[in-house]
Amino acid sequence: MPPVHPMNAIKDTALSPILEKFPRAEVKIRQLFQQSPSFQSLCEDYQDCLVAWHHWRQATSEDAPALCQSYAELLQELEQEVRDYLEHEYV
């Protein structure tokens, strides 16, 4: 098996959560990711936000519930941005 190129690993990491959330749009998501730097950034932001949400969901600090809620709301906003890309012909 050939080694995985670091950029492919980053791409797969950024795409995985979006593909899990929108499995029926895999082809379009992959096209958008290849062709649109802004969509790439959106996918990376979603991945980062998801990681933060998981962290604060498990945290026990006093601020954790509020931060978890904030990240959950941000995830919803980012998901809507993905939907906007998918509904419009950007590719």
Within-domain flag for 10:
yes
Q: Is 26 a domain residue?
A: yes
Looking at the domain assignment, is residue 54 inside a domain?
Answer: yes
Task: Please give the residue range of the domain that contains residue 20.
Answer: 6-87
pTM assigned to the model: 0.83
Q: Is residue 44 part of a domain?
A: yes
CA 67 to chain centre: 18
In a domain, 1, yes or no: no
Mean pLDDT, the chain, integer: 88
pLDDT digits (tens, 9 = 90+) for 42-82: 999 999 999 999 999 999 999 999 999 999 999 999 999 99
- The pLDDT score that the predictor gives to residue 90 is 58
**83 within some domain:** yes
Please count the structural domains in the chain.
1
Query: Which band of pLDDT confidence, cut at 50, 70 and 90, is reported for residue 34?
Result: very high
- The Cα 50–Cα 54 span in angstroms is 6
Q: Is residue 19 part of a domain?
A: yes
